[in-house]
Structure 1
Amino acid sequence: MWSGSADAPPTARIAMLAPSLHPTERRVAESIASDVEAAIERTAQDVADLLGVGRASVIRTSQSLGYSGYQQLRVALVRELALGSQTTSASEGAVMGALRTMIERFSDRLGHTLSALTEESVEQFVRVVDESQRVLVVANGLSLPLGLDLALRLISAGRPAEYLPDTIGQQISATQLGAGSACVVVTGSGANRASLEVMTAARESGATVLVITCFPQSAAAKLADAALIVAPIDDTFRDELVHTSRAALMLVTEFVVELLVSRRGDRARVAQAATLSMLSRSLSE
């Protein structure tokens, strides 16, 4: 099931694939992610006995994560620990200590965000956005601010984009896109019903559907013509929903726009100069 980079660390793969795994495999994967050091010391049979599942389930889980077997997964876990840094525990009640711990944890996992991206997927994404006649940007729920930010960044780069906060308006606009246009959807979970309905409408109109999401086996990723999979900072699908961190998604959308600017060359630079000129006039002394 894993189709990202071969260098992607195991915990990043688990975070992205866990929602789509068979329940038994999900138990195995989440058990491994919850205690990596213990998983390294256990055999496949040890894990099976601990969880009350068959040894074959442990092997299948490893294969679903992109490894030939549990031994290879253990080696990858060792490598991940060796490359990672340890964060310091925050003292109970120390607000700054807690904040520092969270930021350090985010920093440690930031490298994971690119682990599922490929040269082909990023190139296709940027090319479609650049060459499309119309671009509709869609985001709902907790991803909504990212959609607005992305649309404004595209516009400032000389790539006109449409953004509608109303879900009915999004669907109406999507039905009228047609061939040669693109619908760009930002959805952390990949399961937002309103966004999925817009994607379906855009596909039926003949438009190319692009998505930026955290989970490669999500409904949104499967529905899209091209997907940028951004590994979530949080360890599990539940964490992603509870903590709702969109920081990694925001970083990737910003840098995708920078790639678009590079591709568009002088057209983008002229547009950005005009944007900066307008901004300078809007500032007071």
Structure 2
Amino acid sequence: MWTGSAEAPPTVRIAMLAPSLQPSERRVAEAIAGDAERAIERTAQEIADLVGVGRATVIRTAQSLGYDGYPQLRVALTREVALGAPTATDASDGTMLGAVRASIERVAGRLSQTTSALTEEALEEFVRVLDESHRVLVAANGLSAPLGLDLAMRLVSSGRSAEYMSDTMGQQITAAQLGKGSACLVVSGSGANRATLEVIDAARASGATVLVITSFPRSAAAERADVTLVVAPIDDSFREELVHTSRAALMLMTESVVSLLAARRGDAALKARAATLSVLSRSLSE
């Protein structure tokens, strides 16, 4: 069941929840997302006949997406289409430059949707735990690993001491020793990386609070977390997320979290950033 913001449009909910839906519900959701304009005009029975499932499955799918029923989903689809919700397009002209422009336009077109699943309560609690924890371990593996390193460095530069190590075994050993009052901050696009899940389990067993930034609210990582920030994927489906593996939205979220933390810390963060700039200035040459 959808637990994110009520403002999140249907296609964004489908992209985030599709991996956790029942196979029959997933087929219904993907059929709706694949042609939202026609789905608006179809009844629940017509969608059922199109996909090859029972009408009850269509209704359950709508409820899994956070709507009372299919009529409410149709209304939400109408609103999304009317507002001109961005869709992935390929404007490439056949040149390399055209391909780059098309790729960037595709990402830019969906960036506005990436915050649609966030809630004020989750953000407040996330930043509070990050600020008050006496020890913070940043964990990220696979294609999210560079984001983990970047996040740890940004936290330190803002006066929030944080630990990061690239070795997965080292992450698990450190997580197992965190203890109560500490936090394990995890970045995982899919929320399904096995090494990352083992780090989360070790942190939870130690009594630490687990903070997760991911793109899928019903992923294994999100289900294990104490506080989760769900960043809607730029890609339209879990499959596309695995193929294209864009981490642009997740990186923007980590930067925003650090900014929120710095604002909460006030003068302490300003002093830390001044010290950081002093070190950077000495490392530059003309």
TM-score range, shorter chain: over 0.9
Matched, 1:124 2:132: no
User: Are residues 1:206 and 2:186 paired?
Assistant: no
Query: Which residue number corresponds to residue 281 of structure 1?
Result: 282
Match runs of 1:1-285 below 5 Å: 1-84=1-84, 89-285=90-286
Measure how far apart 1:33 and its partner are.
Answer: 0.9
TM-score normalised by structure 2 residue count: 0.97
- 1:181-207: per-residue Cα shift (whole Å, max 9, x none)? 000000000000000001000011111
- The answer to whether the 8 Å contact 2:215/2:231 transfers is yes
C-alpha distance in 1 between matches for 2:86 and 2:67: 25
Residue identity in the other structure for 2:182: S
Alignment coverage as a number of residue pairs: 285
Partners of 1:152 and 1:68 in 2: CA distance = 44
Change in Cα spacing, 1:86 to 1:120, as seen in structure 2 (3 Å) is closer
Q: Note the alpha carbon deviations across 1:57-111, whole angstroms, 9 max, x for none.
A: 0111011101111121111112112222667752551333333333222222112
Residue 234 of structure 1 aligns to which amino acid in structure 2?
D
SS of the equivalent of 1:228 reads: strand
Tell me whether 84-93 or 222-231 shows the greater mean CA deviation. 84-93
Please give the alpha-carbon distance, in whole angstroms, between the structure 2 residues aligned to 1:22 and 1:242.
Answer: 22
Letter in 2 for 1:250: M
8 Å contact kept, 2:139–2:164: yes
C-alpha separation between the residues in 2 aligned to 1:228 and 1:60?
Answer: 25
- Report the residue type matching 1:74 in the other structure: R
Aligned partners of 1:273, 1:119: CA distance in 2, in Å?
Answer: 29
| Structure 1 residues 107 and 187: alpha-carbon distance in aligned structure 2, compared to 1, 3 A threshold | same
Q: Which runs of 5+ in 1 are unaligned?
A: none
Distance 1:108 1:42 in 2: 27
The CA RMSD measured in Å over matched residues stands at 1.3
Deviating 4+ runs (over 4 angstroms): 85-89
Q: Deviations over 1:3-37 (max 9, x none)?
A: 11111011110011001111100000011111111
CA change 1:134–1:86 in 2 (3 A) is closer
SS of residue matched to 2:139: strand
The Cα offsets for residues 173-232 of structure 1, whole Å up to 9 and x where unpaired, read as 011101110000000000000000010000111111110001111100010111111110
CA contact (8 A) 1:84 1:108 kept: no
**Bigger shift: residues 255-264 or 111-120:** 111-120
> Secondary structure of 1:135's match?
strand
- Aligned to 1:114, the other structure's residue is in SS state coil
Could you tell me whether the CA contact under 8 Å between 2:92 and 2:101 is conserved in 1? no
Contiguous gaps of at least 5 residues in structure 2: none
Residues in 2 aligned to 1:94 and 1:46: alpha-carbon distance in whole angstroms: 42
TM-score normalised per structure 1:
0.97
